[in-house]
Amino acid sequence: MLPSERLDYSPIVQRKRLALPGGARLAVWVIVNVEEWDINETMPRTVLTPPAGGSPMPDIPNWAWHEYGNRVGFWRMLEVFDDFRIPAVLAINGSAIARYGAIVEAAKARGWEFIGHGFSQKNMQKVADERDDIRKTAAAIRAATGANPRGWLGPGLTETWETPDLLAEEGYDYVCDWVLDDQPVVLKTRGKPIVNLPYTQECNDVAMMLIQHHKASEYRDRAIDQFDQLYADAAGSARVMALVVHPYIMGAPHRLRYFREALAHARAHPDVVFWTGAQILDWYLGQR
Amino acid sequence: MIPRDRAPYSAIVDRPPLRLPGQARLVVWTIVNLEFWDIARPMARQVLPAPTGQVLLPDVPNWSWHEYGMRVGVWRFFDLFARLGIRPTLSINARVCEDYPRVARQARDAGWEFMGHAYEQMPIHRVEDQKAMIERSLSVIEQFTGTRPVGWLGPGLTQTEETPELLAAAGIKYIGDWVYDDEPTEIHTDNGPLVTLPYTVELNDIPMMLVQHHESEYFTRRCLDTFDRLYAEGASRAKVMAIAIHPYISGQPHRIGYLEAVYDRIARYDGVLHWNGVELLDWYLKTRGEG
């Protein structure tokens, strides 16, 4: 289905007012992406290219660089969530659940929400059987947490023409791949509709650090600018702000402080709620 | 063998902390990389692609840009580390001992540790006889310094699935290719275990300056942000902070000051050790398991 068939164009200034409880202006949600990189595939991202180029396999250096996030970086990030008492959303590859048991347990102990993020870290257009991938991911999360995931984020936000239809049919309530608004929107599917929550490519450490190659402090500076503008925009109608981190990027020792400082800025505002995706979804559905 | 068969996943918080002698918190491990770039092949890195992106052979502009490091830049390193009394680990293409004996001699006479870094600078995947190349590399260094290296770093940290077996068989004890932890770890090979030391692709002038294109002064900022964080964590768990530099990059006049600034600031702290790879290896083998 084409995007224009899934939703109509809608200018944000012409919509019914959304109101958060207690007069809050902004709902902030923080998504931690935990992935498993298959050593038998091309690495999804690289920090170092081989001498004279090419892409030799296996790619041990870039595999190891990512693995650092799950061995060390994640645990450093966890302290920030604990200190600020902010629940995160764990977007996790289905295969990573069995591999990184300690991470799954830490997230469960804190009541984080688990959302599907592909069974492996592979473009959804390259997955052999998309429905099976979506289903297997839900099953892995259900086995670990006792509940079906309500949300889905495609690896690299990738979708096929069919992805929202399959997600709705497989029991998912929301998707994050459509970064087209500051408020949730409803997407039509061939069955029941699915909600899209405002995820971000802007305040996202993959785009900022690995593609745009900004200094680590730019993560904090951009997040603060983003927050201040959305906070002002929200005077008339509530807004949602997403912050996205990966343990192998913002969990590096030299970057962590900037993640903490970004959250500290948001945390200093009393009229802001820190919610999971499911909380934002349920609130939004209650507003419609 | 794939990595999962060499070492299981391990969360750092589930391990007993390692302790350094004398209440030290942190080891700074400095690695200087010296390479041989063969003018007959494409250059390992480029500062300037040819107009319209064509591949040049010979690629004189990029060859000479690297050569500057051997002629000029590396002497800035020697001055800096002599002044600081630090003896880094030298990650060295063995061929540097043959083609740049003046540079290799300076490092040897200053007491730097020689770590194997292949014979010349090309991905290990393209080496036809890896076993012979490893043996040749270690022998050339042994002849030059009188000591057979116990450490190894692949060019660009590259490995094939059999590299760790070949290295262990050749007598190598530690590798820098696995940048997956803040601590040394042990991995399995069919020829006995290897220790991984926490080398770095974060505090490394190739990814920072040639891939990510950061400004020169950002090297100082990133190193000191890392230092501050690891120094704090070092109160409860020993930490290793590697700094990896190349004379053709950090030895440039506009960059060397930002490298010096890192060491000058670190020098103000107690509880910081400057060790080479062998010292790290010996400490880890002795200390692990003591809890």
Confidence class of residue B105 from pLDDT cuts 50, 70 and 90? very high
pLDDT at B37: 96
Q: Which residues of B touch A253 (CB under 8 A)?
A: 182, 202, 225-226, 229-230, 233
Q: What ipTM describes this predicted complex?
A: 0.94
Q: Is residue A13 part of a domain?
A: no
Determine the pLDDT at residue A288. Answer: 85
At B53 the pLDDT is: 78
DSSP readout, chain B?
--HHHH-----GGGSPPP--GGG--EEEEEEEEE----TTS--SS-SSPPGGGPPPSS-HHHHHHHHHIIIIIHHHHHHHHHHHT---EEEE-THHHHH-HHHHHHHHHTTPEEEE--SSSS-GGG-S-HHHHHHHHHHHHHHHHSS---EE--GGG---TTHHHHHHHTT--EES-----SS-EEE--TTS-EEEP---SSSBHIIIIIIS---TTHHHHHHHHHHHHHHHHTTTS-EEEEEEE-TTTTTSHHHHHHHHHHHHHHTT-SSEEE--HHHHHHHHHHHTT--
Q: Is B195 part of any domain?
A: yes
Per-residue model confidence (pLDDT) at position B55: 79
Q: Please tell me what DSSP assigns to residue A204.
A: B
What is the tally of structural domains in chain A? 1
Q: How many residues does chain B have?
A: 291
Closest CA to A274 of A20, A1, A8: A20
Say yes or no for a CB contact (<8 Å) between A61 and B203.
Answer: no
d(Cα A37, Cα A21) in Å, to the nearest integer? 40
Per the DSSP assignment, residues forming a β-bridge with B245 are: B32
Of the residues A71, A219, A259, A260, the best mutation for testing chain B's interface (the one with the most B CB atoms within 10 Å of its CB) is: A71
Number of other residues whose CB lies within 10 A of the CB of residue A186: 15
| Residue B113 belongs to a domain | yes
Range of the domain at A265: 20-42+56-287
Query: For residues B54 and B42, what is the distance between their CA atoms, to the nearest angstrom?
Result: 11
Q: Are A135 and A74 in contact (CB under 8 A)?
A: no
The answer to whether the beta carbons of residues B187 and B178 sit under 8 Å apart is yes
Q: What is the mean pLDDT of residues B270-289?
A: 96
Any B CB within 8 A of A98 CB: no
At residue B290, does pLDDT exceed 80?
A: no
A242 part of a folded domain? yes
Instruction: Name every chain B residue with its beta carbon within 8 A of the beta carbon of A252.
Output: 202, 226
Instruction: For chain B, give the mean pLDDT.
Output: 96
The Cα of A124 is separated from the nearest Cα of chain B by a number of Å equal to 25
Encoded tokens for B92: 């060295």
A48 → closest Cβ in B11, B122, B156: B156
CB B186 within 8 A of CB B194: yes
> Mean pLDDT in chain A?
97
When CB atoms are compared, the residue of B159, B181, B223 closest to A68 is: B181
**Residue B51: per-residue pLDDT:** 86
Q: Judge whether B11 lies within some domain.
A: no
Give mean pLDDT, residues B124-153: 97
Rounded distance between C-alpha atoms, residue A220 and residue A203, angstroms = 9
pLDDT for residue A119 is more than 60 = yes
Dump pLDDT digits (tens) for B4-62: 999 999 999 999 999 999 999 999 999 999 999 999 999 999 999 888 878 789 999 99
The reply to whether residue B11 touches residue A257, judged by beta carbons under 8 angstroms, is: no
Question: Is B288 a residue whose pLDDT tops 60?
Answer: yes
Is A77 touching B (CB cutoff 8 A)? no
| Percent over 70 (pLDDT), chain B | 99
Residue A67: per-residue pLDDT:
98
Decide: A194 and A173 in contact? Cβ < 8 Å. Answer: yes
CB contact under 8 A, B222 and A254: yes
Distance from CA of B114 to the nearest CA of A (A): 21
> Peptide bond before B58: cis, by omega within 30 degrees of 0?
yes
Closest chain A C-alpha to B16 CA, distance in angstroms: 14
Cβ–Cβ < 8 Å for B284, B276: no
Do residues B18 and B183 make contact, with C-beta atoms less than 8 angstroms apart?
Answer: yes
User: Is residue A212 less than 8 Å (CB to CB) from chain B?
Assistant: no
Say which of B181, B204, B211 has its CB closest to residue A71: B181
Strands (E), A126-201: 151-152, 174-175, 185-187, 194-196
Average pLDDT on B213-226 reads: 98
pLDDT in tens, B228-262: 999 999 999 999 999 999 999 999 999 999 999 99
Radius of gyration of the CA atoms of chain A, in A: 18
CA distance B223 to B114: 24
Chain-chain contact of B2 with A71 (C-beta, under 8 angstroms)? no
CATH of the domain at B124: 3.20.20.370
- A chain contacts of residue B218, beta-carbon cutoff 8 Å: 215
Q: By the CB < 8 Å criterion, does A72 face chain B? A: yes
A227 within some domain: yes
Distance (Å, whole) CA B69 – CA B11: 39
Number of domains in chain B: 1
Task: Tell me the per-residue pLDDT of A227-257, one tens digit each, with 9 for 90 and over.
Answer: 999 999 999 999 999 999 999 999 999 999 9
At residue B52, the pLDDT reads 81
Structure tokens of B237?
């768990």
Q: Domain range spanning residue B126?
A: 21-287
Q: Mean of the pLDDT values across residues A266-287?
A: 98
Q: Which residues of A touch B223 (CB under 8 A)?
A: 254
DSSP element (H, E) containing A43: none
The pTM score is 0.96
Tokens at residue A6, please?
């899934």
Would B12 be classed as within a structural domain? no
In this complex, is the C-beta atom of A254 within 8 Å of any C-beta atom belonging to chain B?
Answer: yes
CATH number at residue A77: 3.20.20.370
Q: Is the pLDDT of residue B291 over 80?
A: no
Average pLDDT over residues A112-125: 96
Positive or negative, the CA dihedral A169, A166, A143, A281 is negative
Q: What is the pLDDT of residues A147-176, one digit of tens each?
A: 999 999 999 999 999 999 999 999 999 999
Chain B touched by A243 (CB under 8 Å):
no
In chain A, the N- to C-terminal Cα span, in Å, equals 24
- Interface A-B, measured as beta-carbon pairs within 8 A, has a size of 133
Tell me, what's the pLDDT at A126?
95
pLDDT tens readout for residues A46-58: 999 999 888 889 9
> Residue A113 has what DSSP assignment?
E
Residues of A in contact with B43 (CB under 8 A): 52
Full DSSP string of A68-101: HIIIIIHHHHHHHHHHHT---EEEE-HHHHHHTH
- At B54 the pLDDT is 80
State residue B281's pLDDT score. 98
